Amino acid sequence: MQHLQKLVIEAIETSQFPETPTNLYDPIRYILTLGGKRVRPVLTLMAAELFGMQEMEQIIPAAKAVEFFHNFSLIHDDLMDQAPLRRGKTTVHEKWDANIAILSGDGLLVKAYEEISKCNPVYLPATLRILSKVAMEVCEGQQLDMDYESRGSLLMDDYLEMIRLKTSVLLGGALQLGAILSGANEQQQQLIYDFGENVGLAFQLQDDILDAYGDPDTFGKIVGGDIIINKKTFLLVKLMEVIAPEDVPMMQHLLHATVEAVPTKVEDMLKLYDKYQVRKSADELKDVYTQRAFEKMSALDVPNERKEALLLLANNLLVRQQ
């Protein structure tokens, strides 16, 4: 994985963009230098390797397309959420302005398709179809996320579908692109896509858990941040689903309170989570998705030794410090 990660980082960092107009291309260069583990484009390379591809330079354009699309979505999501920071650095709309964020994000989306056009022309229809499908689903997920934030309650099925679209389909799509370009058949493509989608669902549930219960020294974000802003995570949606009538007033009080007005807001909400064992429910469902992912990997018709790297990566993603 480290070798493939190095290939991806080098390809991203050496990407050439025009010098002008500076307010279009400087934000693109900026967002691409903010780092990150580049997990999604690495998955594209790992999937190709899984199915026997050895010439990684043929897969690099697809990996870059995945990363360009991902960063397009980050620029726009940050703007919609009015987030001040991304990976500890000022977000594009804060460093420049909203209009520049919109246009530079659009530019990255165009560049993603430009990279896909460089892939093996034999597979171009299939790769374009997958990138377009994933792109539309991610946009649907973001819209659902915004819609749900204004709703007083939310069905669990709605929440899970939202995180599937917003987070998981890109992991699955990144893997499927690598499978397509290495000549895997449609059945094998679907299995590796399903592996990625289930890993993505488990990963998001783990993130929800860590936001409330993580170790501040290792989590990398403010623990309890989702509670502070009343973000609808699995934990909150589950609490709304199972809470007894006598505790509803307390929950509603906390949801309408700021941490300035109620300094113990996070601690009090965690007490409700603990009372109704919502973390246990989250852990159990995370394990279900993890098991499904491993079953899909097991069903793949490739030598087991080729599966080891992806299984190790999945374990690293899903067993993080708490």
pLDDT in tens, 119-135: 999 999 999 999 999 99
In the prediction, which pLDDT does 43 show? 97
CATH superfamily of 1-132: Farnesyl Diphosphate Synthase (1.10.600.10)
Q: Classify the C-alpha dihedral 75-80-82-88 as positive or negative.
A: negative
61 token code pair: 């354009």
Specify whether the CB–CB gap between 221 and 211 falls below 8 A. yes
pLDDT at 321 over 60: no
**Distance of alpha carbon 154 from alpha carbon 241, whole angstroms:** 8
Specify whether the CB–CB gap between 164 and 197 falls below 8 A. yes
30-39, 154-163, 223-232: range with highest mean pLDDT: 154-163
Identify the band that residue 157 occupies on the pLDDT scale cut at 50, 70 and 90: very high
In the prediction, which pLDDT does 143 show? 95
* CA 211 to mean position of chain CA atoms: 15
In the prediction, which pLDDT does 233 show? 95
**Distance of alpha carbon 261 from alpha carbon 256, whole angstroms:** 10
Nearest to 134 by CA among 35, 68, 58: 68
In the prediction, which pLDDT does 36 show? 80
| 185-322, CATH topology level | Farnesyl Diphosphate Synthase (1.10.600)
In the prediction, which pLDDT does 56 show? 93
Specify whether the CB–CB gap between 178 and 206 falls below 8 A. no
In the prediction, which pLDDT does 171 show? 97
Identify the band that residue 11 occupies on the pLDDT scale cut at 50, 70 and 90: very high
Identify the band that residue 320 occupies on the pLDDT scale cut at 50, 70 and 90: low
**Distance of alpha carbon 219 from alpha carbon 109, whole angstroms:** 30
In the prediction, which pLDDT does 220 show? 55
Q: Rg of the Cα trace of the chain?
A: 20
Please state the domain extents for the chain.
1-132, 185-322
238-265 burial by CB neighbour count: b if 16+ within 10 A, else e? bbbeebeeeeeeebeebeebeeeeeeeb
pLDDT in tens, 50-71: 999 989 999 999 999 999 999 9
Write the DSSP string, 38-100: -HHHHHHHHHHHHTT---GGGTHHHHHHHHHHHHHHHHHHHHHHT-SEETTEE-HHHHS-HHH
Specify whether the CB–CB gap between 25 and 17 falls below 8 A. yes
